[in-house]
Amino acid sequence: MSRWGLSFCPINMQQGIHTPHTEAIEKQIKKELNQAGLRVQDLIIVGVSGGADSVALLLSLYRLGCLVEAAHCNFSLRPGDCEEDEVFVQKLCQDLDIPIRHITFDTTSYAQKHGISIEMSARKLRYTWFEELMQSRQASALALAHHRDDNIETLLLNLTAGTGLRGLTAMRTWSKQRIFRPLLHFSRKEIEEYLSDIDQDYRIDKSNTDTTYKRNFVRHRLIPLLKEINPSVEKAIDRTIDNLQGVEDIFEEQLSESVIRFYREGKISMEEVLSSASVPTFLFELLRPAHFSRVMIRDIYQRLSNSSGAVYDSPTHRLVRSTNSLHIYPLASLLDQHDVKEILIPINNTEQGECLFPHNKDLKLCWRIVDRQMFGASLRLPLNMALFDYNKLGQLSLRLKQAGEKIYPFGMKGSKKISKLLIDCKYPLQERDMDLLCSDNTPIWVPGLVADRRFGVDANTKCCLLCSISKTTNEE
């Protein structure tokens, strides 16, 4: 026995321990890996606190042969215990020869400075660091150990906060931010049994019993009351989450055409808005991507019938109500680069446009719709320009490059990681965090460098989108 309890088994013994329970869990995790499109050679950053859930996640991925690196946060909230957690995780990773990265936060000071709760502060700090880590390590995914009980608690917390349908769908196994949560259909008890089967110890966070934290209150006081109504309430809520996620998928699929067209054309008719089954919900889904708050959207809805000429600004966009339409315009000058991740670009068939890059105000993007014939046979353009087949494009946006993203350059076979492309082109390290032009969140242009051939002009192209970048000028 070590100071942690059970000593960690040697690697070869660890891999040799198999029970029906461990095999069932690892089979499900392997299935989730395949569904997420993650391969054995893809680097996965694993958030490891030292608790049962994260230790089980790290070991299961390790036993499945995945390429993993551990990431540990010390939030400085439990003097002594936090340091022991860190030593435990370091020892675990050392025994397995798994690389580990760790960081210490002054969570209390951060909460006081920003006027938010300790829970929210810890969340913001760790996710910001995880995002930076994924980018610097060029990782394909961030694996987090949220399980079924966590998801149920999330749904109940969101229900009490009135977050709407998205809040009730809780967490998904795979997110657009490349966050991987393969334990969501396993209970805390099943995870602890898994660790018991492979003879692995873990740390216990004493603060998990402190019901002054909202999540702990739900876990220790609310759920036991719900069990008095239905002893199998966890499984029932888990099924409900699955059903709600399916409803959300259908809901977004039905709305996506209107939303994409709105930002593509920069307008939508009042007739279409007012004829929707639920105008407030339709407006919310329409304006949410442009960072309009729920309160602002409610105000817009209440004034729809008699506010021609009204103007509303979000952090990134301006909404203008005309007699027959709603018009949307990007307001790059209002962007707060610390809070806004992207701006959506409306492509209008009759107008050209321009906007500033959200994270580099010295650059602006200009675009216009042009006829294919104006270019003749030659399509050679300066590096600051790119030409795309208009009909191959979806919702355009400018956003920061993300870790592991690829592009399909002209003149090359297959794809290439954008980060590797920047290295090969000897881009300075400080300039590699750049905004990309994307179509439906897929990178189509590394401005000034390379465009994606899949969206390029071909023999069938009739209408083109011409994009260019240029330096901004300050006119006094």
Annotated binding site for ATP: 49-54
CA dist 62 and 80 (Å) reads 29
> What residues contact 155, with CB distance under 8 A and at least 6 apart?
167, 168, 170, 237, 240, 241
| Feature table: binding site | 49-54
Specify the residue for token string 């952090």: 315
Give 291's contacts (C-beta < 8 A, 6+ positions apart). Answer: 314, 315, 316, 317, 340
For 190, 273, 277, 473, the CA distances from 305, given in Å and listed in that order, are 55, 11, 17, 41
Residue whose pair of structure tokens reads 């977004």 in the numeric block: 252
- By CB neighbour count within 10 A (0-12 exposed, 13-18 middle, 19+ buried), where does 348 fall? middle
Amino acid present at 382: P
The whole-angstrom separation of Cα 73 and Cα 103 is: 5
